[in-house]
Structure 1
Amino acid sequence: MQVLYTASARATGDGRDGHVQTSDGTLDLDLAVPKEMGGAGGAANPEQLFAAGYAACFHSALRLVARRAKADVTGSVVEAEVGIGPNGAGGFGLAVTLVVDLPTVDRATAEQLVAQAHQVCPYSNATRGNIEVVLTVRDAA
């Protein structure tokens, strides 16, 4: 693979109760363990960052496949829900649900575009076979 761009981020402090910053400084956040996991909450956490990245990346892939198909996806929205829990082997795992709103296309077209985007998206390609990813189409025309 020819790398077109490399992002770099650094984590300091106490892991999930620490700090992250990208090398260019555009992302600079304190982290906190969510209250649901016994932490104080009140700051970002790795699952939120993963959800934001996956939602943005998948939305970009969706718009790409829609352009190729000459489909109007005006008003489209992608929401990523990232869950974390014990994996049964002493560690933890993630589960993702991608909820896609495509209000300007019919359901069959929406489902086809979402399936195609799932094949194109780098996050989907990275997670395939490693974590469960559920695709949900909502609000199709």
Structure 2
Amino acid sequence: MKSLYSTKATIKGGRLGTASLSDSDLTIKMSAPGTDSEGNNPEQLLAMGYGACFDGALGVVKKMEQASFGSTTYTTVDLLQGETHEYKLAIKIHVVADNTDLSADEIQRLVEKAHEVCPYSKATRNNIDIEVTSEVQ
């Protein structure tokens, strides 16, 4: 495979530090989840990145299947803690489709196909519990 894009991030101070990109002026102040500290945590960034990637994959599937509908993708990322510092992620992806004559079952089939195509989904498959749902408005 050829590389279409590559970026590098620099993180200092972990969840209480900063994160910056080598090819952008974006610098994010990091904060621990569940605190009132100013900044963002990795789970928030994962929710945004995964959602954008998934919605893009859904756009590819729409073209492949010649399907036309509007969509909004919602992602929820949960950070779970077990008994002894055992941490795990769980993700929910929910797509709301509109402006379509497709049935709820047809939309769900396309959303599941997007889950097969999405690079984030491929990277997390069998590593993170992911629930993919949809609805038609």
Tell whether the structures are fold-level matches, with TM greater than 0.5: yes
Determine if the alignment matches structure 1 residue 130 to structure 2 residue 127.
yes
Q: Distance in 2 between matches of 1:91 and 1:19?
A: 24
CA offset at residue 92 of structure 1? 1.0
CA displacement 1:50-100 (0-9 Å, x = unmatched): 1110000000000100111111122x1111111101245633110000010
Over aligned residue pairs, what C-alpha RMSD do you find? 1.5
Number of aligned residues: 135
Determine if the alignment matches structure 1 residue 98 to structure 2 residue 93.
yes
> Quick one: structure 1 residues 8 and 89, their matched pair in 2 at CA, closer, same or farther if it must change by over 3 Å?
same
Gaps of 5+ in 2: none
> Quick one: structure 1 residues 26 and 59, their matched pair in 2 at CA, closer, same or farther if it must change by over 3 Å?
farther
> Quick one: structure 1 residues 106 and 41, their matched pair in 2 at CA, closer, same or farther if it must change by over 3 Å?
farther
Letter of the structure 2 residue corresponding to residue 28 of structure 1: T
CA displacement 1:3-43 (0-9 Å, x = unmatched): 2211211101x210110111022421101112x2xx33331
Q: Distance in 1 between matches of 2:84 and 2:59?
A: 38
Question: Which shows bigger deviation, 44-53 or 78-87?
Answer: 78-87
Instruction: Look up the SS of the partner of 2:95 in the other structure.
Output: strand
Determine if the alignment matches structure 1 residue 117 to structure 2 residue 114.
yes
Letter of the structure 1 residue corresponding to residue 8 of structure 2: S
Report % sequence identity.
35
The counterpart of 2:57, out of the listed 32, 47, 61, is 61
Aligned to 1:107: 104
Aligned to 2:80: 85
The counterpart of 1:42, out of the listed 38, 47, 50, is 38
Q: Distance in 1 between matches of 2:84 and 2:93?
A: 26
Aligned to 2:32: 33
CA contact (8 A) 1:63 1:73 kept: no
Gaps of 5+ in 1: none
Aligned to 2:20: 21
